[in-house]
Structure 1
Amino acid sequence: MRQEERKTIQAAIIGAALFLLIQIFRTPLSHIENQDVLLAFYLIIGCCNIAFGFAIFAQGWLFFSDKLSRARLYTSALFLGVCIFDFLHTLSFVGIPAISSIISADQSLWLLTFSRLASAFGILFIFSKEDKPVSVTSKKKVFGVSLVLIALSLSVLIFGHSIAQGFPDYSWVNTVKHLVDMAVLFVYLLSVGIIVYPGRVEKSASLLIIIRALIFFALSQVFFMNLLSVGEMDYLFGMLSSGISYYLMLTGVYRLTIDEPYHENQQAEARINYLAYHDDLTGLPNRRRLMQRVEEMIQQSEKDKSHGFSALVIMNINHFKNINDSLGHYAGDLLLQLVSERFQNEVQVNEELFSMGADEFAFLMTERTGVESCLVRASELLRLFETPVQLESGEYHISLSLGMSIHPGDGDTAEQLIQNADTAVHNAKEQNVEIRRYIPAMQMKAKERLKLENDLRRALERDEFYLVYQPQVRLETEEIVGMEALLRWNHPKRGMVSPVEFIPIAEESGLIVPIGEWVLRTACRQNKEWQAAGYRPICVSINLSMRQFLQPNLAGKIDAILQEIGLDPCYVDLEITESMTLDKETAFDQLNRLKRLGVFISIDDFGTGYSSLHYLKNMPIDRLKIDRSFVSEVMEDSNNAAIVSTITSMAHHLKLKVTAEGVENKDQLNFLRQQHCHEAQGYLFSKPVIAAEFETEFLKPLMGVSL
C-alpha cells in the first residue's frame, strides 16, 4: 500500500477516534467557564480558516495563471464564497460590534451552514469530473457568476431569516437547519465515495489528499451537528477540523492542478527526449545519438592528439528481410532484440553500441592503438554469431556483414564517418565478404548503384527488358519438355547489364514486383503465341521473388493474367526458393491457392537454403531443381555426388520430379542418368536464347500441322 493511501486511512481513523474522545470527555469540557478564552480560540481558528480559504482562492485565481484548469478555476471561485461566509460568520459569532449588529447569532450559524453547504456541493461537482484546461476568458465569467451567487445567498440568508422570525412558530427553522446540516454531511461522504470508486483504479497522491480533506470536512460537520448550545467545545473542535480540511484542500488542489501536471510534463519531455535518442525496440541509442557521440569523439581527438585511433563499425544482418518476411515481423523484432543483447553483453571499456534502425547496428570503438586492432575487434564481433539464435520456431544461424571507417583518415565529420562505414557494409554484402574497411572507390560504386536503381525504375517504361529461354530436356528421350524464362536488361548506354547486378537492386527497392509481373505476363503470352502458331505445347518455368510470393493476392493476379492471355495453367511452372518456406503456415496457404489454379510448383536451387523434409512431405510441390553448384563438380567432388544422389533418391520416394541445373558436359549427363534424374538444363543443351532462336531450334509442330 502506498504511503498516501496509508495516510488517508489513518486520517479517517484519527478523525473517528477524535470525535469519540471528545464525546467521552464532553461533560468536563462543557464546564469551562471562561467563555472569553473560548471565543479568543474560536477567533484565532476562524482567522486561520479564512486565511487558508483565501489561499485556495489566490492559488487558483492570482498565481500560476498560465496553468489554469477547470478544477483550479472552480475551486478558487468556490472558496472565495466560502471565505466570505466564514469571515462574516467568525466576526459575528465572536461579537465584533460592526458585524454582530447586522448579523445575529442565529444568522451567524446559518452563515456557517451556507458555507458548508456550498463547499460540499461544490467539491462534489468539481472533483467528480475529469479536470481539463480552460481559457483565460472563462476566468472573468466564473468570477462574475461567483459574486452574483454570493450576493444572492447573503440576501436570502439575512432577509429570509428576518421574515422567518415573524412567524409565530419559529421552531421549524431549526428543524430545517438540522435537515440541511444532515444533507451537508451526506454530500461530503458521497463526495468521498464518488472520488474513490470510479474504475477502482489507483488514485493519485493529490486526490488522496483531497479525500482526506473531505474526511475532515465531514468530521467538522459532525461536530457542528452535535451542538447543544452556542459556544460549546464541539463547535470549537468543528472549526479546528475545518482548518485541517482547508489546509489539506489547499495542498491537494495545488498538487492536483499544478504540481502533478508539472511533473507529468517533465516525465513526458524526458520520455520524448529518450525516444528521440533511443531505439524503441532494442532500447539502444539511435542514429541521432550516434551522430552526437561521433562529433564528441572527433572534437576530443582534435584536442588530445594522443587519443589514438577510433573506428566506427556498421553491422548488417544478412538476409534479415527473408527472415522478417517468412517468419513474420514479431520473429524479426525478437531476432533484433536477441542480436542486440549479444552485442551489449560484449561491450567493453571505450566501446559503445547503437541501433541504426531496421537490421543495422553501429559499434563505436575509441582509443585504439591502430587499424589492425580495430579489425581484430571487428572479427571478434562476428564470432559472437557462430552459435545459432533461438527463436520461437527453432534455432537459426545468422551471419553479419561489417563495414568500418577509421578516424583519423576516413572522414573529418560524424556524417562522413557514418556514411563511409555504411558504404563499406553495403560493399561487403555485394562482395559476399564479412568485413570491409572503407576506401574512396566504394563511394563511386555506391553512386553507380544509385544511378543504376534510378535507371531500373524507368527500364519497364522504356521497354528495355526482354526474355531469353533455356530448354529443359527429358534425359530418358532427350526431347524438349519445357523451358525456363530468364530476364535480361539491355541498357541504352551501359549495354547488357548482368542479372547478378540488377536483380538484387530490384529486390531491395521493391521494383522486383512490377518487373516480376511483367516477366510472368510476357512469358505466358509468348508460350500462348507458340501454341497458337501450331507448335507442340510445352511448360514455361518462371521464377517468383520473395516479395512476389508474399503478396496476398498473388493467386488472383496470376489467374487474371492466364485468363486474359488464354493460357492453360498446366503449361506454367512457378519456381520458388527454399527460403520462401521458412514460414510454413504462410507458404502452405499461398502454395495451395496457386495449386488450385492448376499450375506446377518447383523448388529452385534446392539444397542451398533452408532444407526441410517437413515441407517436402506436406507442401503441394511438383519438382525439385538441383542447384548448379552441386552439378558442376559432381565428377570431382564425392560430397557433391552424394548430395545429388540423395536428392534424386529422396524425390523419387516422394514422387517428385527432379531437374538438374547447370549441366555442361557428357560426364555430368551420364551421372545424372545413372541417378534416374528426370530432366536437365544447361549449356550442354543450349545457353539461354531469345524467343525467335528458341522457336527455330527447339520447338516442334504438332502432328498434322504445317508451319
Structure 2
Amino acid sequence: MNALKQTLDLVVLFIYLIGVALIVYPGKVEKSASLLIIIRSLIFFSLGQAFCMNPLSIGELDHLFGMVCSGIAYYLLLTGVYRLTIEEPFHEKQQIEARINYLAYHDELTGLPNRRCLMQRVEGMIQISQKDTSKGFSALIIMNINHFKNINDSLGHYAGDLLLQLVSRRIAGQVDRNEELFSMGADEFAFLMTDRSSLEGCLIRARELLRLFESPVSLESGEYHISLSMGISIYPGDGTTAEQMIQNADTAVHNAKDQNVEIRRYTPAMQMKAKERLKLENDLRRALERGEFYLVYQPQVQLDSGETVGMEALLRWNHPKRGLVSPADFIPIAEESGLIVPIGEWVLRTACLQNKEWQMKGYRPICVSINLSIRQFLQPNLAGKIGAILDEIGLDPCYVDLEITESMTLDKETTFEQLNRLKELGVFISIDDFGTGYSSLHYLKDMPIDRLKIDRSFVSDVLEDSNNAAIVSTITSMAHHLKLKVTAEGVENVEQLEFLRQQHCHEAQGFLFSKPIQAAEFELSFLKPLLRLHS
C-alpha cells in the first residue's frame, strides 16, 4: 500500500512539473502576471508534494513544510485564476475601449488630434469667445502639402506616410501657447490659434509656419523640397460655427492651390468658385461622351534647317454653354478626379489617328508629342494599352513621342520599369518642363529617354535674366553630353531664337512659329508632301 501511495505521489509530482514546463516552455512569449502566479503555485505544489512524499509521521518537520507549501500553492492558484479569468480581461477591455476612444479623436499615423477633435475645440473656442468678448481674434488655418499625390504615387505609400509624419513633427515642434495642431486626414493639417491681438498677427504666424519648410525633408530615397498651401478663416468674420470655420478654411486652401499662392484668407466669392468647380467637374464627366473635346497642334521646328519635324498635341474643351474652357481650369480637375485616364487615352488615340491619316495622304511623316499624366504613367498596363492602340491604327511607334514630367521620375525603380516597357514599343520619350521638378541628375544619365524640353519659364526672359540664360545653356550642354535632344518651349521672338541657336539647341516651339492650331490649318501650314512631282 505504501509503495502504491509513493508511486501516486510521484505521478502527481511529475504532473506538476510537466504543468510548469508546459507553461514556461514558450520562453520568448511574454507571460502575463496571472500566468506567472499560476507557475509559482505549481512550483509550490511540487515542493509540497515532494515534502509530503517523505513517509514519516504528520508531526515531522518536512511534512509540515509540505502542508505549508500546499497552502501557499492553493492561495497562488486561486489568485492567478482570478486574475486570468476576471481581472486581466477587465483591464484588457478597458485598454481596448481607451484605444478606440483615442483613435476616435486622434490620427493613428501622426498621433495628432483629428477632425472630430478639431470640431470640439473650435466649438469650445466659439463658446468662450461669446461669453468673454475681451478675447482676441481666433484663426483656423487649413494646410495642404503641394504635389503630395505626385510624391505618394512616385515614391510609394510608405514614403508618403513618412513625409506626413515629418511634416507633422516639424510643425508640432513650433506650436506655442494658445495654439494646437490637428490632422485632417490625407495630406491636410489644421492649425488653430486663439486669443490673437490682431488679424495681421494671424497672417504673420501663418508665414512663420511656411518658413519651416524652406529646408528640405529627408526621406529614404533622398532630400526633397516641399511647400504648403494655406487657407485661413477668422472668427467671427468668416464663420460663427465650427462647421463654417472649417469649411471656409478648406475652401480658402483649395483657392490658394488653384491660384498657385501660399496663403489665402476666405472670402464669400470663394464659395461661389467652389460650387462652379464642382459643376465644372460634373460637366467634365460628360464631355468625353458628348464629343466636346478636340485637339490642337503646335509645330516643333528644327533650328538648323527651319523644318517642322514634330508637333505637340494639346487638348481643348469646347463647353456647350461656357465656350472654350482653359486647360488650366479643367486639367487639374481631371487629374484629381481620375478622369484624366480615359481623357488621356482619347487624346493618344485621336492624335495617333490624325498622324496616320496625314501619312496616308502622302505627307512627310513627323512625330507627334503626347503628354502623359502621372495617373496614366503609373498604370501597370500602360505599355500594353499604347501598343494595342498603335497596332489598331497601324502607326509606327517611332512617330510617337510620350512626354512625362520630372515629378514622375521620383521613384527610380517604378519609373525605370515603366520607361523600359514603353521603350520596348519603339516610341520616343521626353521629359517635359525640364528644370522645374525634382529629378536627380544621377538618375537622369541612366534613364531610357530621348529628349529634354526646357520649360518656357526659363526661355521667356532668357535675354533679361542671366540666371535663366545660364540654366538654358547648362541644360543644352548637358543634353549634348548625354546624347539627348533638347527642345525649348515658349519661344516668342527672334532674339530668343538666336540665343537658342548659339547654345546649339536642337528644336524649339512657341508662338514665334505658331500658336496651337487645329488639324486642318496645321496641315495647310506645316506639312510637306513626301514626294514632289517634277514638271
- Report the TM-score when normalising by structure 1: 0.73
2:528 partner SS:
coil
Who is 1:253 aligned against?
Answer: 81
Who is 1:490 aligned against?
Answer: 318
Please tell me whether residue 449 in structure 1 is matched to residue 273 in structure 2. no
1:216 partner SS:
helix
C-alpha deviation, 1:237, in angstroms: 4.5
Question: Distance in 2 between the 1:427 and 1:208 partners?
Answer: 61
Q: Contact between 2:362 and 2:531, CA under 8 Å: does it hold in 1?
A: no
Who is 2:373 aligned against?
Answer: 545
Who is 1:518 aligned against?
Answer: 346
Who is 2:359 aligned against?
Answer: 531
Please tell me whether residue 312 in structure 1 is matched to residue 140 in structure 2. yes
Q: Contact between 1:355 and 1:361, CA under 8 Å: does it hold in 2?
A: yes
Please tell me whether residue 386 in structure 1 is matched to residue 214 in structure 2. yes
2:445 partner SS:
helix
Who is 2:124 aligned against?
Answer: 296
Who is 1:270 aligned against?
Answer: 98
How many residue pairs match? The answer is 534
The range that moved more, 259-268 or 549-558, is 549-558
Gaps of 5+ in 1: 1-172
The letter of the residue matching 1:650 is M
Q: List aligned pairs for 1:521-600, cutoff 5 A.
A: 521-600=349-428
The letter of the residue matching 1:448 is E
Question: Distance in 1 between the 2:47 and 2:441 partners?
Answer: 79
C-alpha deviation, 1:242, in angstroms: 2.7
Q: Structure 1 residues 496 and 232 mapped into 2: Cα distance closer, same or farther (>3 Å)? A: same
The range that moved more, 220-229 or 243-252, is 220-229
Q: Contact between 2:56 and 2:63, CA under 8 Å: does it hold in 1?
A: no
1:182 to 2, 5, 10: 10
Who is 1:47 aligned against?
Answer: none
Question: Distance in 1 between the 2:226 and 2:201 partners?
Answer: 25
Who is 2:256 aligned against?
Answer: 428
1:305 partner SS:
coil
C-alpha deviation, 1:379, in angstroms: 1.2
Who is 2:471 aligned against?
Answer: 643
C-alpha deviation, 1:199, in angstroms: 5.0
Q: Which has the higher contact order (CA 8 A, sep 6+)?
A: 2
Q: Contact between 1:185 and 1:221, CA under 8 Å: does it hold in 2?
A: yes
C-alpha deviation, 1:681, in angstroms: 1.5
The letter of the residue matching 2:406 is E
Who is 1:676 aligned against?
Answer: 504
Who is 1:201 aligned against?
Answer: 29
C-alpha deviation, 1:592, in angstroms: 1.7
1:619 to 433, 436, 447: 447
Please tell me whether residue 656 in structure 1 is matched to residue 452 in structure 2. no
Who is 1:31 aligned against?
Answer: none
Q: Which has the higher helix share?
A: 1
CA RMSD of aligned residues (A): 1.9
Q: List aligned pairs for 1:39-118, cutoff 5 A.
A: none
The range that moved more, 233-242 or 420-429, is 233-242
Q: Structure 1 residues 220 and 641 mapped into 2: Cα distance closer, same or farther (>3 Å)? A: closer
Question: Distance in 2 between the 1:610 and 1:243 partners?
Answer: 74
Question: Distance in 1 between the 2:24 and 2:476 partners?
Answer: 75
Please tell me whether residue 471 in structure 1 is matched to residue 299 in structure 2. yes
Who is 1:461 aligned against?
Answer: 289
Who is 1:227 aligned against?
Answer: 55
Who is 2:187 aligned against?
Answer: 359
**Seq. identity, %:** 82
Q: Structure 1 residues 530 and 181 mapped into 2: Cα distance closer, same or farther (>3 Å)? A: same
Q: Contact between 1:227 and 1:234, CA under 8 Å: does it hold in 2?
A: no
Q: Contact between 2:224 and 2:438, CA under 8 Å: does it hold in 1?
A: no
Question: Distance in 1 between the 2:56 and 2:458 partners?
Answer: 108
Query: Larger C-alpha radius of gyration, 1 or 2?
Result: 1
Gaps of 5+ in 2: none
Q: Structure 1 residues 220 and 672 mapped into 2: Cα distance closer, same or farther (>3 Å)? A: closer
1:287-342 deviation per Cα after TM superposition (whole angstroms, max 9, x unaligned): 11111111111112122222221111111111122222222222222222121111
Q: Structure 1 residues 483 and 180 mapped into 2: Cα distance closer, same or farther (>3 Å)? A: same
Question: Distance in 1 between the 2:176 and 2:230 partners?
Answer: 19
Question: Distance in 2 between the 1:385 and 1:443 partners?
Answer: 29
Q: Structure 1 residues 238 and 644 mapped into 2: Cα distance closer, same or farther (>3 Å)? A: closer
C-alpha deviation, 1:229, in angstroms: 4.3
